[in-house]
Structure formats: structure tokens, C-alpha cells
Structure 1
Amino acid sequence: MRRVESGTVGRPRLVALLDEGVQRRLLTVVADAGFGKSTLLGSWAAGRACAWHTVRAEDGSLSAMVSGLVGALRRQVPELDTIPAELQSPRGPDADAEQQTRALAYAALLADALDANLSNDLVLVLDDLHELDPAAPATKLVEGLIRTAPPNLHVVVASRTPMPFGIDRLRGRGQVLEIDATALAFTVAETLAVLENVLGDGTEDLAEPLQSAVHGWPAAVRLAVEALRTAPADQRATRLRRALRSDGPLYDYLAEEVFAAEPPAVRRLVAGVAVLPRFGAELCKAIGLTDSAETLQQLRTRGLLVSAGEDDGYELNPLVKNFATDRLVVDDQELTELSLRAGQWFESVGEHRDALACYQAVDAARAARMLTERGQAMVSGGMAETVVAAVGALPAELRDAAMDQLEGEARQVLGDWQGAMECFDRIIEPEGEIPVAIAWRLGLIHHLRGQTDVAIATYQRGRIDGRHPTDEALLQAWWAGAHWLRGEFEECRALITAAYETAKVSGDDRALAIVHTVLAMLAAVDSDPRGNSSHYVRALEHAERAGDLLQAIRIRVNRSSHHISEGDYALGLQELDIALELADRAGFAVFRALALNNRGEALLRLGRLDEAIGELEASRALYQKLESKRVAQPLSVLGEVYRQRGDRALARACFEEAIPMAEETRDMQSLVPSLAGLARVLAVEEPERAAELAALARQAVDYGPVLGLSGALVALGWVTLHAGNQTGAAATAAEAAAISRKRRDRAGLADALELYAAAGGGEVLHEVLNIRRELGDQLGEARAELMLAGRTNGPEGRELALRAHQQFLAAGATRYAAAALATSDATGPAPVRIECLGGFRVLRAGKAIQLGEWPSKKARDLLKILVARRCHPVARVQLLDLLWPDQDESVASPRLSVALSTVRSVLDPNKRYPPDGFVGADRATIWLDGEQTAVDVELFLHDAREGLNTGDLRLLRAAEAAYSGDFLEEDVFADWAAGMREEARALYVRVARVLAERGRRDPDAAAGYLLRILQRDQYDERAHLGLVSAFQASGAHGEARRAYRTYVQRMAELEVEPAPCPGVPTRL
């Protein structure tokens, strides 16, 4: 906290305003220099529970600002002590691109720590906030803290400029009190108090003319009074009138008056310290400016110096500093010597940043010497930004390979991996060996970008000669990991064996962490779950001991995969919550994307499909932003979500997009599941391609013992079964089950047994059902119950089918829910059902019409258009324009007749109904008979409108469940589908919002509805804020934090001020 100057004038009216202001979330004190903001706040805060941070220009970086805030707050909240160590860890390659995410993550971290540990009100003063650029990440940090802080933290901001972010919403809620220059200006009474403090009694006649002349500007009042200090009492009025008649800048004139009366030693002292970053009595004595601490204290008392903090010595008053720099003349040689002596003193006491600043001002060679000797220590000590700036400022003749390497390592620590690569590239030759320390760092940049081929080529160039065991172990281990990603397990095994021996020699925790990580990955493909778990435990211990955030995040993400594969989804999600928070703060967007992917997979296994889609879409978007081929991973899992939800068109699109990218990078974790998933989708849609699909599934299996092997075998089994080979399918299922048992993969075992039962291999469905229930797998449980229902007669079978129907509905798998309901319905399915929500599908008597049964795409389009026209008659002329816009009517009209005939033939191939039983026609129009044909979008519209009009929850829930996707998603560019799509989507959002609002007592259900709204409109503010509240109500605080950060980012894209976090109650 800034120390209170003696002789400070009491200002009770402003103190009352401050006391009122700190009952609110934010108090702003905004005025230009010299209005006494810091003095006022310092005297007011002295008797209160208060944390104080004076913002400096270097606080613009996120790490500096977080460190400053932690330093201020930890006196009241010691639990924050662990954060500074984290800040010194290397940042991710995406730290610059993800500055907003990092800032909001740190704001949430601080807010959570304060919420958990603050029992009483605390005031946080941020002085000189104008030092921050409005676009700086530190500004976003301050904004995030204000919006998410607990109600007993009150933020006071002092600044020369208005707040650098919007506060209109806070102001509108009565959560802001603002004090400006008008309020800060001295009154006549306060001006008189200053006169009496300095000059004593008898100054009443001076107060009003002084206050009027300077308009109450406190700095001018104080300096004018100082100028009168040496004047005899009878000459004060005359001197004051002369000073106030100055034609030049008033403050400079008054300062000239003051310093003209000072002894030369004081003038030299002020001019000398003006060039120093900060100073104190010990430094001034060491460099020969003054021997007297009392002199400094007197200058502070007079307002010419201000305290730089409790332990940081002094700074010149900003206005005095400007005056001293411009007006107080000191010999240049003397100033140079003062700066050098100050640099030596700072260096001797370990203040490297200040020492470097002094050297840089006067002697580049000394700055280069210091960087050579102390640069590595400065980088590891959290001063990488200072090092980068200092190296960049060196003249060309002082830059050498060592400086390039130092800058490269510093940039990598800061997350500027592209800049680091450019530095390293300046050092290395195009071919041949390169220093091992550069090789592994440069290779890692490509590795984390998903460019494993380039990474391996770079690792291969590293010079391994036993001289640098730590760097050599790191290189070999990362190199081994790259081979593992490509499914090259023997190469991986050979390299990690060598790396393990080298790491043991070095004893370095970073090296041992990566070695045990790769050994754990190998144990996974070797079907050794105990070894996998053991190595990850040891890897995390080493990574945390080393303070290596990159590896700690990676290990937690990898361990989540291990937990998910064993069916412990809760533990997997717990690991991912930690990993995501660390990745957000450190700027490892690539690991954030991977963690979101793994969360999506866990949520899929739990049947929480809407949440899974949200996480996977976020992962996909982040990988695409990074231009990473690893986007194949979320695409693969997203395809599986859609497949299990029954949206085969979307599933197929995802798998087909993922496969070529995964093939290019040999990403086996994405390629094998994508091939397997595509084979399963096509086996249902196009069974006539049995041989081709079998080859596709066999390709997935032939990649060997990758993590997706059991899933690939199950896919092969289903393709085999669809081709009519029950024996082959059962044998493949048995092989998949054996692998799953060995790997403790209970979900994989249930998948294999489900296939085994379908192939007639035995009565194992009850075992499948038990496994699914133990895992909490709603979808798997529903599938098993539906299969059992098909084998169980009477009421028991119908009960099983109805239970499966409810499970499918709860998970959002509406198409499977409809199939289950049809199984339970004694009346049987509708003769023709047309599904257009989430994709186009037609069912005859409950069985889907395969794509191959449609001889004409135009016939399918004709049926879609008739559905889009709400079963109303459509003029033949209009249909001709829509289907054949470039054809003459004489040519197109016969084609329309053929298309109509085709539609009728496909819907009723056995001629069981009259020709116009489903599609009617006359000479002028064609229509779909809605009475004879069940159309999902029509049923949805009916239930939605009735439910909204009557408030009937049963109808609303039925409508919400029926909306499995937008109308004709595959025809997104067809104008004739747009009207129906927008109408249905808008109606769905209304239904989902009503259900969310009426379901507040069930926050999990409410969250599901809100997530579905956001899938359709990512900028829906009410849905975002409702989702945050729902997560908080259900105790999912980590998800609530991430949801709020996503909301803030969406509002930033629209340049809209975000609302405060809903979890922070309003308090007046």
C-alpha cells in the first residue's frame, strides 16, 4: 500500500463517498495528474482491510499483472502464494493467440481463491490503471476479476483516463460509484487547510484567490504553497499574484519557483533520481547522491516524492519527474556514471531487471555482458519478457549465436514459439547435426502443431554425444512420443529405452517426466493397464516437482484417456477439469483442444450427448483456429456421437472429413476410429456395399494394437453381420472381447458382447445391461434394453421397449427413441414416416428406405420440397423452376412426371395403397398427403405450438425431444428449405427456453435445453447466462467458469459488454 504522507489534508466529504463506494462492486476515481487520487486513497485505505497495487507500464503483460495482484492480495489471502511459481513456467505455443482466454482463466482463479478464503470484506485498490493499454491482456484480467469476484471484494480504480472497458451494465445495476476531477478539486476550505499546514495561521486571505486561480487543482495548490514557504509573511500575497499571472504552464512555473530556492544538492538529487527506475536511501548513498535518508523523507513530506510501495523505496511525483527531466540540467557524463553505478548496485542485490534497465540507458555493451552472464537465470526467474526486449534492443555487433539462443529460449517460455523458431533457425545450418538443446525445442514446436513428420526429422538432427544428458533425454523421449502417435511402436520402444537410461543419469525431473509418460503410452498399447497407471503417477510427480506445466497438462489429459477407457468417467472428467484450467492459464491451446475432445468422449459414454457435442465443437473450432491437422480427433468422436444419436448423415460427414487428415499425419488415434465408424454407418445405409465396407473395417483392424483396436474389430463384426455372416461376426466379437478384458476396457467389452448377442453367439445381453448400468452409459443401456425387448414377448417386452424409449429421449437420441416406441406399440409403425429434422430419411412400416432404393436424386428432392411446403399443393410450374431451373418446360415437365412416379413407387413398392395414397396430384399441382403420411417436422410444429399456447409440459417435452436437428441439414443452401428451417428453429428455441426456465429445480435438465439452444445460436445471451447458473446450481463450478468465459468471448466478438457472472450476487 502507498504510504500516507504526513501533513495530508483531511477530506471528510470524499472519505464519505469512498465509504459509500466500497459497498459496491466497483469504485472509480478518475482525474488527470495532480488531483490527489493516490494521496486520497492512501490516507483513506490506511485504516481498512485493503490490498494495494500500483500499476506500472510493465504490468501490461499478463504474468506481470497477475504477479502484482497476487503480491497485493496474498497478505489477506495467503493461499494465493502458489500462483507466482506457476507464472514462471514456460507458456504454451498459443499463449499470444489465447491471451483473452488466459486472462479470464486467471481472473477466475483469483476470484475462486478469494471466494473460498475471504470471510470479511476486502478492498483492492488499483492505482494508476491508465498505465495499461486498453487492448492489453492485463486489462482483460482486471475486467474479468471485477465481473467474477465474490461480493466481499470491492475494487477501487484510480486512473487518469476513463475505464478501458464497458461498465454500463454494472452502472445500471447500481454497482458502480464514480468520483471525478470535479469532486477531487480542493474547495476554498481545503485550500486554506493546506496553507495552514505549511505556513501556519494568518493565510485566510490567500485561500480564495489561490483556489479560484487554479480551480482547486490540488497539485498546483500544493506547489504554490511550497513556493510561498520561503517568502516573508508580508510578501506572500505579492509572490502568489506574480506566480498566478504566469503566461507559461502553471505547474512548471511554480516548480521553477520551488526548486530555485532549493540547495544545489537537492536539485542534483532530484535530477539524478529522475533517470532511475526507483530509488531508496541505500541506493542514493551508494551512488553518491545523498547520505541522508532524512532528506528523502522531507521531500516526500513536501509531496515532491511519493512512496513506490511498502518496501520499494520512492518515486518522483510524475509531474515533478517531467519537470526534472526537462528543466533541471545535470552534466550528461555525470548522469551516465550515476546510471552505471545504480546498475551495479541493483545487480549486486539481485535486482536484475532494474540493473538491466540502467545499463540499457547508457551502455549497450554492459547490457550484453549482463545478458550473457545472467540471461538464463532471468528467464528461469520469470523475466523472459525483459530478456526478449533487451536482446532485441542490442546493436547488431553485440548479437551472436548465444544471444539468438537466449532470445529463442525466452520466446519459447513466453509462448512465442514462432518467434523462438525464427531465432533457432538463425543459428542452425540447413543440414547436418544441430545442438541438442535447440533440436528438441525446435522439434517440439512442430510436434505440438501436429506436424510429426517434420518433428521427427528435426529430432533426428540433434547431436547426441553424452555431454548434455538432460537435453538428450528430452530429445529422445519427445522423439519416441512422435513415433507412438504414428503407430510406429518399435521405433518408439527403442528410443524410450535409451532416453530412460540417459534420464536416470541426468536425474532431471523434466526428462524423467516425459520418459515415464511415453512408457505409460506404450503400456496402454501393450494392454498393461497397471503399468500405464504406475508410469503416469511417476510422470506427474516428476513434472510437478520440475514445475513443468506443459508436461503436467499433457499427463493429466493422457491419464483422463486411461480413466475413460476403464469406464471411470468421473475420474477422467476430474483430471480434465484440472488440465483445462492449467491449459487455459498457460496458453496451451493444443492441450485445451485435446482435453475438450476427451471430455466429449467421456460425456458421450455417459449419454450426455448435447454436452458432448458442445465440447467437441469447441475442440474442433480451436484446432481449426490453430490450423492443426489434429482436428481429426474431435471430428472422429463427433462422428461417433452423431452415429449413436442416429444422425447418420452428420456422422458420415464427420468421419469422411477426419480420415484424409488423419492419414496425412498418420494419426492412428483418429484414423482407426474414423474408419471403423464410417464402416458402421455405411453398413446400415448401404448394405449392398458389403465387400467394400468389410475392406474398410479390415483396414482399421490391420493398423495393429492401437488404442482403437477393439472398436475396429467390433465395426468389422457389424459389417460382417450386415452381410449375413453370423459366424464370422461372432468370432470377431469374441476377439474384441478378449482384447477389451485384457485392457480393462469395460465399455469395449460391452460393445463386443452386444455384437456377440446380435450374431446369435449366446445369451449375454443381461451381462451387457449390467455393464452399461455400472458405467452409467444411458445410450448403451437403452440399446441393450431394446435388444432384449425384441427377444421378450408380452408386457415385459413392451415395458423394456418403453424404458429404452425414455432413455433414448433423455440422451437426445430421438430417432432411436422413435424406434423403441414403435417396438412397444401394439398397433405397429406408420405405413410411411418422413424424417426431416437432422437429416432426411424415409421409413416404410418402420424400416428405413436405403439410399440405393432411390433411383433418382430429383425424386428425393421432390419429396423434400413437398414436405417444406407443409403438405400444401405446389404448382407444377413452381416445381419445374425449383428442380430444373435451366430446362425448358417441354423438357422438364416429363421429368417431373417421372420423378412423381418414382416417389410413389419408392413409398409403396408393392402397390398396397392407391396411387395417390401418399402423394396426390392433379393437372396443375402436386401435394403430400399429411393425413396418410407421418412427417416429423409437422408433428414437432403441432406439439410446439400447442405446448406454448397451453403451457402443457407434456407437449413441450415431446416437441423438444422430436427436434433432432435443423430441417434438412444436408440441404443448407436450398432456398426452398430455408423458410421451414428458420421457422422450426425459432420455435424450437422458444420451447427449449420455456423448458429451461420451468425446470430450474432440475439444473442438469435445464443445462441440456440451454446447450441445445446454443448449438443453434452461439450468441444467445440469455442461454449463456442461464447455462452458467444451471452449472453452478448443480455444483459443476469448473464447467460454470468455462461457460462464463465462453460467454464473455462470444460477447467480445459482437463488441457487447458482458454481464457480471451470475454466480456473483448483487449487493448494495
Structure 2
Amino acid sequence: MKSPAPISDTVSDDLLLRVSPPRVPRHLVARARLLASDAAFQGVPAILVQAPAGFGKTSLLAQWRLEHLARGTVVAWVSAQNTDTPQRLAQVLALAVRQGSGRATFGHVLLDAAGPGGLESITIWLAEVVQTALEVVLIVDEAERLPQASRDALAYLLRNAPPNLRVVIAARPDCNLDIDDLMAYGQCVVVGPALLRLRLEETLELVQGRLGSRIDSDAAARLHELTEGWPLGLQLAMTLVGQGTDARAQVASLAAMGGSVRDRVLALLLSNLNAADRDYLARIAILDNLHPDLCRAATEMEDAAERLHRLARDTPVFVASEQGDWVRMHTLARDVLRQSFSALPEQEQSQVHARAARWLGARGLLEDAARHALAAGQNELAYELAERSLYESIVTHGRQGVVLEWLSQLPAKELDRRPRLLLAAAWTLATSERHEDAGRMVARILAQPDVSDALRCECALILSGAAVFADDPDRFVELHQPWADNPPLLDPMLLQVHANRTAYRTLLEGDPALARLRQQQSPAPESGRRQDFVGRWGELIIGLTYVWEGQVRLVENLLQPAVASAEGELGRRNSFTCMLAALLASALWERGRASDAAALLAGRLDVLERSGLPEALLLAYRTLARMAAAEGAEHRAMELLGALDAIGSARNLPRLRIASLVEQVRIHARRYRAQTCAELCVRIEAMLEDPALPRGPMWRRSVDLLHRLAQGHAAIAAQDWRGALLPLNQAAELAQAIRQGRLHLEILGLRAFALDRCGERSLPLLKEAMDLAASYGLVRVFDDAHPDLGQWARQADGEATSSVHAAPPPAPAAPKEPPRLLVGRGMVLTPKEREVLELLARNLSNKEIGRALQVSETTVKWHVKNLLAKLDAGTRKEVVVRARILGLIQSSD
């Protein structure tokens, strides 16, 4: 039997390189939403992966290749070149299928130098694919390199693809294949930058897989924020961060202006730019968002638009919007390039800023225009623009950072001259730890002549908000009461704020269901108007009512889309987004989804410390502390609770300090440390006797509940079971009075636990608590209260290893773990050839292989001969190397 001629005898070496797939990176994260088996890609004949450089298009295609090989599909890989005429493209396609299928006669007509050209060659290739009767996946990488005639040929191929052919194409955004009709009819799916960008949980998995315990979740989240989920930027940052001994310090250097790590990243990204392009980038780096016309106006360069388009295409430092002409620079590059801009002569800097301010102001982009006008020295214009834009920025969009930045730059006399600026400043300061400064701003407003009732009511809304952030519910109710009914407000936004405050007051009074009803009856937004910042507060209040009741399933359903929407509109580290995340994380922890809760809180604690609601701050720290304790890292739990105590002291929030001590009592009670618990209770009692503490009934009721709970845990630690019942009963009455459902169930379980240790009938009480916990979706409640209670609950339920009441089950809504990419088997080799190949890779001789497979040595030689021909190899060693390159056997590294 004559073997087919080796491939290398009939085609050139450069074509062989073109059909050789790249190796899959070792640390590549196989993202479940981007697996080839995902439902979004099933049954679709064509997939177009289109994104700028650095988004991992080639890596994704290499991953998909291995997935298809593992399912036995023939995969043909093609790396496009600008020299590929339609005839040459057809030759490369033929060689790719020949390599992928192991059929050495495939495409012999096309690979003949005198073969047909134009679309006829593509037609012949398609006909041969049909005749193979094999499932074939064609992967074309870097399609933007193809000349226009070959792009048309590729579009022709897509429109005439047979049923046994699927095509995957990767290209830059400027590559137009003219296949809009296929997309419109669902015959082609487009994977764009938004899908390719890494999500936070994917970044955490990738960073921790690469750097391990050297980096914590907060530092990894900071890396994600700096790189904005950009795969290339993250890979570069991880490489440089991993070279240092202190990963956190390296991340801090990356974040710092002028940090050595940041400079090195930028040097890698912009290494191929000429001086003129670098100068151009430095001049437009002062613009947060880039438009071709804005760049032309700011730089006064005639080719500014064309240069922006070229650089956005060729350099991996831009983020393009999905639609329109707007782009922006990645933060890593923009901040360093702004330093280059600051080195220009001051007059030139002012001129660029002034031109940008004029262009932006003429198009209604007032906030950006004001910032550039101020930088240009046009102070009066800047203050006027700021007055017109900042009030809306804080009230409608929640952009506190922008207002605080202006507040630090505006002279006091300008604030007094411009009441709307004073209002914006007061609103901003009220929703942060600077609530006392907000009171002083309101005093300046009310000191002005002719203050209307509407303005007085708005000032009361500001001050009541400050009272909420000061954790003074009684002061909040006092400020709200005079305007509770028929407020003299006409602005729909302010009426929505008033409705939010009414609902929140109802919650504090202990009626969460009525609070939700009042929130739902609040004024509806104008028809067609997108949900604004004030409307989002309504979602937070409803979520808080569910947290209050312990209805964690409802919290999850409500807040998961709310957090995603807030992150998209406001940003991940916006203070409001962080508060929503804290509420959701506490619910996910109660549902047994620890990793999801940790990802939600990663990189957000510092924001909550500065400007978070006390309740959100408490929930975030308590969730992390309980998570650490459950993992056996008690030292970490105590560190977190100590930090919560310090924050309570710094922000003058004594309830948080008491809650921190109560949580420490709970942790020590789990190990029956009676003396430590008693000492902590003494500290709590000493704090409660401080005359400087608030004396209002609402505040006292909340801390009395915490105090009774601490006393109950301390008695349990001392194993004084009878003594634990009195404070637990008192705590239960207080929790039930204000309808704190989750806490009530915890206390119910602890009371049953204490009664059982006293030898009294307690099982019905425990089972009632277990049934209610199951109804609410509370998975962690008994284990968090006390491990012995959790164990008892499992025994009582009769399922010691998998009870939904105590042991966290796999979350039904959690995404499945991506399957591990297996070794490709494919249709290239017969089953027996695969077995021989695997034994060749172990360095076995023909005789040893024959014994292992129970065949003759002659049969083994025949299989080896076929392997040499199919894989175009001259020796047994080359067969193994080629098989590893093609993904037919697992690489040894």
C-alpha cells in the first residue's frame, strides 16, 4: 500500500505556518459564557469575533478549537495575510482542511499552481467540504488583513456554506465583510468587546490562579478597575505585578500617578508609536471622552479625526462605544499621557482647554465644558457652567466625586453668590461622612433673603438625609415630620426624594411591608424618562425592607439586576452602587453563595467607609467577618470587626461600634470563651452609659436589641443555659416588635438550643425556626448563630450532610463551572491510531506497544507508518511533537 505524499512535498513552508494554530495560554480562563458549547452559539453557521487589539480574540479562537476537537469535529485553522488573493485564500483553506482532517488528497486541485482562481476556487473548496461528509469548523484569524477581493470571497463562502460547515472569523472593528444580512437573519452571531471584556469574577479567578495567595481579592479588584476588564492590559499588569515581592505594593504603584509599574505598562503599550502620534495622544488625553470633531477642535489639527481613527485601530489603548463615533482612552494610558500634556507650555495648555470648553459647551456637555474652562483660566464661565450642571450631576446622576472636586476649588464667595451650587454641595455632603458640613451649607442657604417654603422643605430633605448617614433615626423623623403631608414641592425629582424618605421612615418605625407599599405608591417617573439616581434609591429602600425581614430570596431577585444596572450607569465604585452591593452580598451569604458575596464586596470597602449608609457598612463588614470565621480564619474576622469599630469611632457612629463588639461576642461564644465574652459585654455596657450617645427611642431600641443578644451569647459561652433564656427572650420581643425577621429566627434557634440543654421540650420550636428559615431562603442562619446549633438542626432534619437549613448547598442560580478543556480526539486518527499515538508519547517500543494493545508488532508498524504520513513526520519523535502542536494529545508542560 502506497502512502500519500507528505504535505511538505506539495506546498510551501509559509502555507504550513499559516494553518498551524497557536498554543492555548496556560492561564487562560475558560469563561462559561464564552464556551463554544454555550447556547448563544449553538445552531449558528457563522460567528464573527470583532474587537480591537488586546481583547483576546486569538486566544478565544484557540480555546474554541480545542473544544471542537474534544467533541470529534475537524477544525481547520487559517491565519489570514494581506497577500491572500481569492485563489491563494482557497489554497490556504484547502491545506487547513487537509491538516485538520488528515486527508492528504483533500484540495489537490486547488493546491496545484495552475488551479482555478476567483470565486470558482471557493466554490470548488465548498464542494469538497460537502463531499468529505465530515463536520468541519473553519477558523479564520486576523481577517482584517485580507484584501477587499478576498473579503468578498469570504462573504461568498459564508453565504454558501453547506450544513456540515461552521465558520468562525476574528477581525478588528474596521474590517467590513458586508454580511449584515446574515446578522439580521440570525445566521451570524457577533461577539464584540463588551462580551470579550473580563468581568470581575473572571478577573479574580485569573489573577488568583496566576498569583495565588500573593494577592487578595481587594487588590485583584483594584487591578480589574485599573484595566477595566481589558484582557491585554490585565495580562501586562499581572506580569509586572508578579515580578515584585509585594503584590499589593505593586498594584498601588500601578494605580499611582507616575508609579514605576504604570510607566512600564504604558511603555509596552505605546512602544511602536512615533513622536508625532505620542504628542497627539498627549494633547487629547485631557478629554475624558473622545470624538473626531472634538479632537479636531481641541488640537486644531486637520488630520485629527483620521489620526484618532488610525490610532484607535492600531493601538490597544482605546475603548470604543458599541455605536457612534465616541471612544475613550484606557485609564492606564490616559493618566500617564496627561503628565506629558502638563509638560507643554502653560499658554498652549490653556488654549487646548479653552477650545475643548467651547466645543463641549456648544453641545450641552456643560460639566465637561466647565472643567476645561476652569483649567483654561476662564473662571467666570467655569462657575456659570458648573452652577448649571452640578445640581443635576448629584441629584440625577449621583456623581458625588465630581461635586466634591468642584467644592474644593470654588471660592466661598462664589458659593454664596450661586445658591444652586450651595444646594448641590449640601446634597453631596449630606450623603457622606461629612454630614456636619452639610448642616453648615444648609445654614448658609437659609440665611439668604426670601427663602421660599419649597426651598425650606428641600433643606429639610437634605438635613434628614444627613441624619440618616449620621445614624440618628430620631433626628431624621424630627426633620421629616413638619413636611410629612402635602410638601410644598413642585419638582418631580424632589417629590420622589420625599416619597423615598417617607418609606424609609416607615421602615424605621418597624413596618417594612407598609414601607414597600408607600415606596411603590410614590410618583412615577415621566413617560419615556430613563430611571434616574433618585429612582434607584427606591430600589435600595425596598431591598433594605427585604433584608430587614430576612427575605433573602427576594433581595437576590430585586438587587441582582439593580446592581448590574447601577454598575453600568454609575460605575462599580460609585458609593450608591457599593451600598446596593453590600445589601446583595449579605443576602447571597445567607443563601450559601460565599464566593459571589466576596466578589461583590471586593474593592468596595474603602468607598463604603467614606460614604456608605451605616446599615450598608455594617452589613458589608459583618458578612466578610462571618465568611472569614466560617473558613476558619478567625484572626481575619477579628481584624475586620476591629476595623468596623475604628470606622464607627472615626465617623462618630456608636451603633456600629456596639455592633462590632456584639459580633465579637458571637464569634467567641462559638468556642465557649466565657471570660472573653464577659469582658466584651462589660465594654458594651460602659459604652451604653456614655451620656454623649443619642437618647432617642428609635436609636436606643436598636442598640438595646444588640445588647440583649450579646448577653444571650455570653451566657451560652458560659454554658449558663437557664441564664441565656431571659436576654434571648427580651431580644426576641424587640426583634419581633420591629419585624426583623432574620434576627428573630436566629434568636428562635438559640432559645431552642438553650431549652434543649436545660432538658426541656425544644424540638418543635427548632423545627418551626427551621421551616421559616427554609421559606425565607436562609441557609446560613443557624450555623452563623452557633456551630452546635447548626449541627443539631441538621440532626433534627435527618440529613446531617446536606440539609438546606444549615449546610450551604450548590446555589441553583449560580453559573456552572466551565468544563475543563479536554484533549482533542477528532476525526483525524482512527481509534487504534490514537491508542498507538498515546503509547508512542510514553516512549514505548513497537514490541511494548504490541503487548499493551494485544496486537502483533507488524500491525503496530503499519499504524506507525500511517501516523508518519498523516502528521507529515519523519520520525516517531516528530509524530509526538506534531500531535502535541495540533492538540491531539495533551502537552507535557
Quickly name the TM-score band, shorter chain normalised.
Answer: 0.3 to 0.5
Q: Which has the larger radius of gyration?
A: 1
* Structure-1-length-normalised TM-score: 0.41
Q: Which fold has the larger relative contact order, with Cα–Cα distance below 8 Å and residues 6 or more apart in sequence?
A: 2
Q: TM-score, with normalisation over the residues of structure 2?
A: 0.48
